[in-house]
Amino acid sequence: MRTVSVPKTEGLPPDLERRARGAYLGLAVGDALGATVEFMTPNEIRLRHGVHDQLLGGGWLRLRRGQVTDDTEMSLALGDCILRQQGRVDPHGVALAFSDWMREKPVDIGHTVRRGIVHYRHTGEPRVPYDDQGAGNGAAMRCLPVALATLASPADVVRRGALDQARTTHHNALSDVATVVLVELVQAALRGASRDELCGAVDRFVTANPEFGFRARRPVQNPSGYIVDTLRAVFQAFATQSSFETALVDVVNRGGDADTTGAILGMLAGALYGVDSIPLRWLQRLDPGVAQRVSRQSVALLRSTPMVRDGGAASG
């Protein structure tokens, strides 16, 4: 299994903050929108909602309108931990942060995540053993804080940060490559890469990791929590739609693990199109406490990256 590095663009664009806030608010909006239809089939969604494109709450978790789930909550826990460590991804700190989060009785939690946290509590080891069956999407869905905090870091630091956070609960080749490529794609978008450039990077990733092939396939419906299914659905929506709104509506109406496809699509499209591309009807209905936390954390994580902190090329 090989990863493919996304080429770096020179310097950091002046609209970096707009993209960073777009990525984090996009993640939260995607999570909240998708959670309403999580585990439904596209047909069930159609019968119930027509096209599902409003933040309604409900769903199998009986959420409040605008409430987010583990995808956003684990990202926030990870981001707070990185900020406490001055921009570094410390595996023990991350495992402890996830353990503390689980103690707060979250609204939902993945099986593999729970097992990883229990493993840490029993052994003190912040890395789970390699698991052939551990290719869930739970590590990839929460990778955004690493992308923000390591934006100006060398490629090996970026990769290590992505994997250190991932392997607290998921240690699997498919989860690993997916988590790394998502961090790289988000970083390329933050630096100002175009949709065509990002799609080119996705295609190079698929060439190196053909399991993730998505172009010559029918639309992926009911994507499961298997990271390959999840990313195929996300890549199809991202590559065929040309706005934040249409891409997010496309992916969540496929049903299945819709909060997680929504979260991942939302972070990627939000980084590309920027916060002003997210429809106001979604931003206004997002849980206000969550909206404030993700917005603040996106900027704080960017500033925790050494080049930005030292007054390098970035503004904002």
Residues of this chain that interact with Mn ion (CB under 5 A) are 69-71, 257, 259-260
User: In the bound complex, what is the minimum distance in angstroms from residue 34's beta carbon to Mn ion?
Assistant: 7
**What's the gap between Cα 252 and its chain centre?**
14
Nearer to Mn ion, 265 or 300 (CB): 265
The closest alpha carbon to 76, from 308, 301, 307, 316, belongs to 301
User: In the bound complex, what is the minimum distance in angstroms from residue 15's beta carbon to Mn ion?
Assistant: 29
d(CA 151, CA 2): 21
User: In the bound complex, what is the minimum distance in angstroms from residue 8's beta carbon to Mn ion?
Assistant: 31
Alpha helices in the chain (DSSP H): 16-35, 42-49, 70-84, 91-103, 111-123, 144-149, 155-166, 173-190, 195-208, 227-240, 244-252, 258-273, 280-283, 288-304, 306-309
| Letter string b/e over residues 259-271, b meaning 16 or more CB atoms within 10 A of that residue's CB | bbbbbbbbbbbbb
User: In the bound complex, what is the minimum distance in angstroms from residue 209's beta carbon to Mn ion?
Assistant: 22
Residue nearest to Mn ion (CB): 69
d(CA 316, CA 221): 39
Yes or no: say if 243 and 273 are a contact pair by the CB < 8 Å rule. Answer: yes
Nearer to Mn ion, 87 or 256 (CB): 256
State the greatest distance between any 2 C-alpha atoms of the chain, in Å, as a whole number: 54
Nearer to Mn ion, 71 or 287 (CB): 71
Nearer to Mn ion, 260 or 305 (CB): 260
Yes or no: say if 27 and 286 are a contact pair by the CB < 8 Å rule. Answer: no
User: In the bound complex, what is the minimum distance in angstroms from residue 114's beta carbon to Mn ion?
Assistant: 13
Nearer to Mn ion, 150 or 260 (CB): 260
d(CA 194, CA 84): 33
Q: What pairs with residue 63 in β-bridges?
A: 58
d(CA 220, CA 33): 19
Nearer to Mn ion, 70 or 197 (CB): 70
User: In the bound complex, what is the minimum distance in angstroms from residue 61's beta carbon to Mn ion?
Assistant: 8
User: In the bound complex, what is the minimum distance in angstroms from residue 43's beta carbon to Mn ion?
Assistant: 20
d(CA 27, CA 44): 24
The closest alpha carbon to 26, from 137, 180, 190, 166, belongs to 190
Nearer to Mn ion, 110 or 270 (CB): 110
User: In the bound complex, what is the minimum distance in angstroms from residue 192's beta carbon to Mn ion?
Assistant: 30
Nearer to Mn ion, 164 or 259 (CB): 259
3-state secondary structure of 109: coil
